[in-house]
Each structure stands twice: as C-alpha cells, then as structure tokens.
C-alpha cells in the first residue's frame, strides 16, 4: 500500500489532513500485521482505539444531549449505544471503504478481515483517536460528526435500533391472529473461516424477505430488514 495514497483517501473521507503520517499509518495497522512484521505493540492501532473509543462516546453523547431537548438519561444512553455499537461503527467504516486501507497480516487477510465488524469498528475508533492526537479535540469532533451525522440523526429519532427481527414480529402482530414466522437457511458458501449464510424469512410458508451475512444471526437480521423494506 502507498502511504501518500492512504493519506489522500483519508482526507477525502474525513476532511482531515494528518500532519504526522506515521500516526495515520499506526491507526490503519492491525495487530496481526504488526506482529507479522515484528513492529511492536506500539505500532498497531489498539492503543489509538482506546483513545478513540472514549472520544467517540463523548462526542456522540454531547451531540445527542444538544439535539434531543429534555430526553431522560436512559433514552440518551440507549440512543448513544445504538450509534456507537460495533455493528454501527463497522457499517460506517465499511461504507467509507476503510477496510481496504488497513494493513492486515496474511491470516486476517485470508479470513476476510477487511469486512470483519470487530476489525472495522476498532479501526474507525483508532482513526478518530489518531485525528484527535494529531489535530486536537475539535478536529476529531468535526470528523466524528461528519462521519456519523446520519446515524446521530436517526438515533435521535429512535430509528437506528438494529433489531429488525423484533420490529418485523411487532409489525406482523399488528394484524392480529396467529402468525407463524420462520427463518430458513437457504445456503452456506465459502470456507469454514469465512462463510456467508443466506436466510429466508417466511410467514405461513410464504417467503417475505431474504438476507445474507457472515453469521446466521446477521443473515436473519438482514432477511427481516429486507421484509420490512418491502412494506410487510
């Protein structure tokens, strides 16, 4: 990978230009790559993730406090949790294309590490931590709000909860009567360490949605989301 290209891409994604490009390199370096190349623990992104985790929480929390009026603490906490959870940050990182910029060891590369939610979420937090260390709190705050703007808006409106299975069940139960909801495995593809599952959700044996994911649980959620998107 080319560090100058990485720098340009990160600038386009975040609006922030690193002064210390070594710090950016560290933010993009997974522990598997650092171990493989004998770089030492201080050269992987885990310590930056520690910083970013706290700041992302703080920035999102402050923004929700400002825009949600007199919402109670419990409501604010649930909204923040929806926004900063692993799935949410991983999805943001995936849409950014952050996975393609990561430095991974050969094992992680082979096992689909560039799309693993845990790796993507950690990398997002590490990148935010690096921006804060390089440019200060306001630079980090601006990047966080830029990248999470849509999720903060949806979270404040209570529309970010990812439990699509529960939402689908509640939606179908509005019609009353007895309804049989079933999730059926349609296919499994790929090696054991990097499988993709495809699931169909059925109501009274009628397929109403299909979804795929790297676990059965994620595939079921995707199938329920698909059914909801069709106005079931």
pLDDT digits (tens, 9 = 90+) for 141-197: 999 999 999 999 988 987 776 578 878 887 888 776 678 899 999 999 988 777 889
Burial of 121 (0-12, 13-18, 19+ CB in 10 A): buried
Q: How high is the pLDDT of residue 33?
A: 95
Note the Cα 51 to chain centre separation in Å: 17
Percent of the chain's residues with pLDDT above 70: 96
- One of 53, 82, 108, 200 is an active-site residue; which one? 53
pLDDT at residue 27 above 70?
Answer: yes
For residues 56-83, average pLDDT: 93
Q: How high is the pLDDT of residue 203?
A: 93
pTM here is 0.73
Question: Contact, 129 vs 16, CB < 8 A?
Answer: no
| Rounded Cα distance, 120 and 99, in Å | 6
Q: How high is the pLDDT of residue 114?
A: 93
Percent of the chain's residues with pLDDT above 90: 65
| Rounded Cα distance, 81 and 100, in Å | 26
- Average predicted confidence (pLDDT) for the chain: 91
pLDDT at residue 4 above 80?
Answer: no
For residues 208-213, average pLDDT: 93
Active site residue 8: no
| Rounded Cα distance, 154 and 164, in Å | 15
Q: How high is the pLDDT of residue 2?
A: 59
The DSSP 8-state label assigned to residue 103 in this structure reads: B
pLDDT tens by residue, 219-232: 898 899 899 888 77
- One of 125, 220, 225, 226 is an active-site residue; which one? 125
Domains of the chain are 3-156 (1.10.1520.10), 164-229 (3.30.160.20)
Active site residue 36: no
Sign of CA dihedral 219, 29, 59, 54: positive
């Amino acid at each position: 990978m080319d560090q100058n290209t990485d720098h340009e891409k990160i600038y386009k994604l975040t609006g922030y230009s690193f002064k210390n490009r070594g710090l950016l390199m560290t933010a993009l370096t997974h522990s598997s790559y650092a171990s493989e190349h004998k770089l030492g623990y201080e050269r992987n992104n885990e310590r930056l993730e520690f910083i970013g985790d706290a700041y992302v929480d703080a920035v999102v929390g402050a923004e929700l406090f400002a825009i949600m009026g007199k919402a109670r603490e419990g409501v604010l906490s649930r909204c923040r949790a929806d926004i900063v959870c692993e799935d949410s940050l991983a999805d943001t990182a995936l849409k950014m294309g952050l996975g393609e910029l990561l430095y991974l060891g050969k094992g992680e590369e082979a096992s689909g590490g560039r799309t693993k939610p845990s790796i993507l979420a950690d990398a997002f937090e590490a990148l935010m931590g690096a921006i804060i260390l390089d440019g200060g709190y306001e630079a980090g705050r601006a990047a966080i709000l830029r990248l999470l703007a849509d999720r903060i808006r949806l979270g404040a409106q209570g529309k970010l909860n990812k439990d699509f299975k529960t939402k689908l069940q509640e939606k179908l139960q509005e019609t009353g009567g007895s309804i049989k909801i079933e999730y059926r495995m349609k296919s499994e593809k790929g090696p054991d360490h990097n499988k993709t599952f495809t699931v169909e959700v059925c109501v009274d044996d009628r397929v109403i949605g299909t979804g795929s994911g790297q676990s059965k649980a994620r595939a079921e959620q995707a199938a329920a989301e698909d059914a909801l998107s069709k106005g079931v």
